[in-house]
Structure 1
Amino acid sequence: MAETVVIGANGFIGSHLVDSLSAAGHTVRAFDRFSSGRPTFDPSGVELMRGEFLSRADLEEAVAGQDYVLHFLSTTTPATAEGDPTLDVRTNVAQTIELLEACVAAGVSRFYFASTGGAIYGEQGKSEYSETDRALPVSPYGIGKLTIEHYLTYFQVRHGLASTAFRISNPYGTRQHVNKKQGLIPIALRQIALDRPVVRFGDGSMVRDYVYVEDLAAMLTSAIGVEPEHDLYNVGSGVGHSVSEILESLARVTGRELVIEERPRPATFVDRVVLDPTRFVTEFGSRPLTSLDEGVARTYAEILEQMNG
């Protein structure tokens, strides 16, 4: 199998992707700071490479000799990017350009990028969004992701670096870092476990496309190393759940009555984002998806284990 490096290998999606790629037979190099001290994925047969994303030298070492580079690292979250938009530009955007330059120099065959499906389409009032819809992000996080997508096109035209962007919906599940303050489900579950109120932005009617992270990793793995027909794919469940429906699932799974603390909906939060994954499924196939309650149950079990451990 091809030599494959995952940038951000110890992150939420990246760690599951390493496990999935390794199980599928890929030769995997895992690049990360490993700030937690140890890999959260199964390290068996995986080459661990500790390094800094903001170091050009470390990136050059990471991509050397690799066929495929999977960029699944972000220095910001939607919240931190909104708090300091220039941080996203100075770190995520600028350093991804350096990573792309390193890939060109190393002769990488294809570059895969984790873009966002939840923030890139903006508020267009559609029931679901396909890749042919306009990208109209209204948040710094989404704007940064779209900017990188444009740079992928530039590097394809200017340097011949093939690339694929995955517009990923709202992933949730195990290994999600609650301290990054990203992800309604793990944050709310931790609050429930601590007997604290759950924060709800707005009236609970906002709709998102949630996908369990192990399902997402399997979907992405099926596309790695396959010659694609397109350079852009939506990757999600294709099913929308409102915030209220999510909170109802959390209550069912935990058996707890939730105490809700309502806060105003931030101006950059869109009302509804559900992705149309038809293009991806047509090319790479479909697979059974984990139900919402089952995914929530697995996530809650890990949170309780961490708290009691």
Structure 2
Amino acid sequence: MARALVVGANGFIGSHLVDALSRAGHEVTAFDRFSSQEPTFTEPGVRVFRGEFLSRSDMEEATANQDLVFHFLSTTTPATAESDPTLDIRTNIAQTVELLESCVHAGVEHFYFASTGGAIYGSQGKERYGEADRALPISPYGIGKLAIENYLNYFQTRHGLGSTALRISNPYGTRQHPNRRQGLIPIALRNIARGDEVIQLGDGSMVRDYVFVTDLVDMIVAFIGRETEHSLYNLGSGIGYSVSEILAALARVTGEDFTILEKPKPATFVDRVVLDTSRLRAEFGEPALTSLDAGVAATWAEIKEQTNG
């Protein structure tokens, strides 16, 4: 079993990843600020490291004696990166390079990076996108993720730091923080729970690949201890749903009759991004996937409890 550091351990994906790694028998250190709430992961025996991602000394201390590092922390969202592209450069990109340097100094064996499959391919008019397709991001968020992927290649070549870039589609599910305005499904469900109107960007025809968070972390944990053929993988359901189809699923699951307010689609939003996951399936087999309605129902149950509580 490995000693594993999860950076961004109290985030949406990170907290589920901490639990999955711990259940798999790994010795897990959970790194985060934990500033707004107590740990959201539930497995016992996890070492909690309260630190600041922007602090070089904190990252040096956290990476010491670790075998694996999972970088699942982002200081920006697609919206905040759009508002201030330099913030993404100054924090996400620069600090990730420092984190990689810390991993080299600590002798870390492998580095896993949560990249994006939703924004990195840009608008190329394809039905689905595979890892061999060109990455042509048109948003600051996607541009930043691609820059970090390129730094992974540099650190592999220059320092021998093994790494895997995980291009994740549109994850959704439980434990998504209410104050982090990212993701159509959780944002819409919170609005429904409050009785507010639901914002639809564009005419409802935008298509995305949605994956339930526990399915996603199962895919990630499967990488540990395996010699993989590649250093880059798409992680998603491989199924495309339009915004209109998602909103119809929310209405079907919640039983609520909500109002939809249409707003213009941002210029950097592409019309269709569905991931080709054949590379992952060829090496790891068919993943178990939660149906859209079942995933929405689990997310809705938690949001209702939080809203009513």
TM-score, length basis structure 1: 0.99
Separation of aligned partners in 1, 2:11 and 2:118: 19
Aligned counterpart, 1:93: 93
Separation of aligned partners in 2, 1:172 and 1:300: 11
Separation of aligned partners in 2, 1:37 and 1:195: 26
**Structural mapping, 1:156-175, within 5 Å:** 156-175=156-175
Instruction: Give the CA deviation at 1:179.
Output: 1.6
Could you tell which deviates more after superposition, 21-30 or 108-117?
21-30
Separation of aligned partners in 1, 2:70 and 2:179: 24
Aligned length: 309
Aligned counterpart, 1:238: 238
**Structural mapping, 1:96-115, within 5 Å:** 96-115=96-115
Aligned counterpart, 1:67: 67
Instruction: Give the CA deviation at 1:287.
Output: 2.6
Structure 1 stretches lacking a partner, 5+ long: none
Are 1:56 and 2:61 counterparts? no
Separation of aligned partners in 1, 2:178 and 2:205: 23
Q: How many percent identity over aligned positions?
A: 71
Separation of aligned partners in 1, 2:284 and 2:49: 30
8 Å Cα contact 2:22/2:43 also seen in 1 = no
**Structural mapping, 1:107-146, within 5 Å:** 107-146=107-146
8 Å Cα contact 2:92/2:144 also seen in 1 = yes
Instruction: Give the CA deviation at 1:28.
Output: 0.7
Aligned counterpart, 2:201: 201
Separation of aligned partners in 2, 1:281 and 1:110: 22
Secondary structure of 1:223's counterpart equals coil
Separation of aligned partners in 1, 2:288 and 2:95: 36
Are 1:189 and 2:215 counterparts? no
Aligned counterpart, 2:269: 269
Q: Which amino acid aligns with 2:220?
A: L
Structure 2 stretches lacking a partner, 5+ long: none
Superposed structure 1 runs of 4+ greater than 4 Å apart: none
Aligned counterpart, 2:254: 254
Instruction: Give the CA deviation at 1:36.
Output: 2.6
Instruction: Give the CA deviation at 1:286.
Output: 2.3
TM-score, length basis structure 2: 0.99
Separation of aligned partners in 2, 1:37 and 1:240: 34
Separation of aligned partners in 1, 2:65 and 2:284: 26
Separation of aligned partners in 2, 1:161 and 1:47: 24
Instruction: Give the CA deviation at 1:307.
Output: 1.4
